[in-house]
Amino acid sequence: RERVIAPLSDVLSKWALKINPRSSPDSVGRRLMAAGLGYRISPTGYLALKAMLALVGVFIGSMLGAGRGLGGLVMGALMAGALGFLGPDYALTLKARGRKEKVRADLPDALDLLAVSVEAGLGFDASLAKLKEHMEGPLADEFGLTLSEMRIGESRSEALKRMSERVDAPELSAFTRAIIQADQLGTTLGRILRVQAADARLRRQAAAEERAMKAPIKMLFPTVLFIFPAMFLVILGPAILNVQKIFG
């Protein structure tokens, strides 16, 4: 059974790559890692899933559009097939975005815990292990993965760079650069971690203020589309009825 499934997965993944030539297994792998799914599903499996959903969408769309003639059949197949093919990418983007925001929110507290551990005399690796014991979530998972890579022989700088590439958050990138530079210059880690924690908090506050400033603009569109028409109907409705009675 596995021998049958593996070639089928390879065929479907190659077909998915032909539909979207700009994609590649490496880029898909990076996106899966950013969403926290890199160890649950392989790039080949994800591409095969997209192709399978596209085929299912084509079948269902053609069945639904068959009652409207050839044009409806073709249009239904194309729309449902495109939805099945592009839907996983949209879901993956949302998951990666939410995961990155969670990492950015947890980073200041994690850096404070690392700073306390380092100042108490623990090494950086032991501090990461202590953080993994006391925190949960995507950031703790990333630090745990980085610690595992260092334990199997990966250099600290390379492991931190890989973590920064997986998450792609500015605050985490600044943290990794500071730690790598501290290793190269022999600087005390405790002070650097305190500075990075304060910087991460300022960045988080600035991002929250930016979202708050954008909120009125985002609220304008639903207000214009849904609230204003109802208000005009309530305010002008009686006047229009009275005018109709006068001239009716």
Distance CA 248, CA 244 (A): 5
Report the pLDDT value the prediction gives residue 2, as an integer from 0 to 100. 43
Q: How far apart are CA 239 and CA 182, in angstroms?
A: 74
Per-residue pLDDT of the chain (248 residues; tens, 9 = 90+): 444 445 777 777 788 878 877 777 888 888 888 888 877 888 888 888 888 988 888 888 888 877 777 777 788 888 888 888 888 889 988 988 888 888 888 888 888 888 888 888 888 888 888 888 888 888 888 888 888 888 888 888 888 888 888 887 888 888 888 888 887 777 777 778 888 788 878 877 777 777 777 777 777 777 777 776 777 777 777 777 777 777 65
Prediction pTM value? 0.70
The CA distance from 200 to 96, in Å, is: 20
The CA–CA distances, whole Å, from 15 to 21, 23, 32, 42, 47 equal: 10, 12, 19, 16, 9
| Whether the Cβ atoms of residue 65 and residue 75 lie closer than 8 Å to each other | yes
Q: Would you state the pLDDT for residue 20?
A: 78
Contacts of 91 (CB under 8 A, 6+ apart): none
Tokens 């005018």 belong to: 243
Contact 118, 191 (CB under 8 A): no
Nearest to 32 by CA among 22, 44, 42: 42
Structure confidence at residue 247 (pLDDT) = 67
pLDDT at 225: 73
Q: Is 196 exposed, middle or buried (0-12, 13-18, 19+ CB in 10 A)?
A: buried
Residues 47 and 178: their CA atoms lie apart, in Å, by: 37
The per-residue pLDDT for 68 is 75
N- to C-terminal Cα separation, the chain: 78
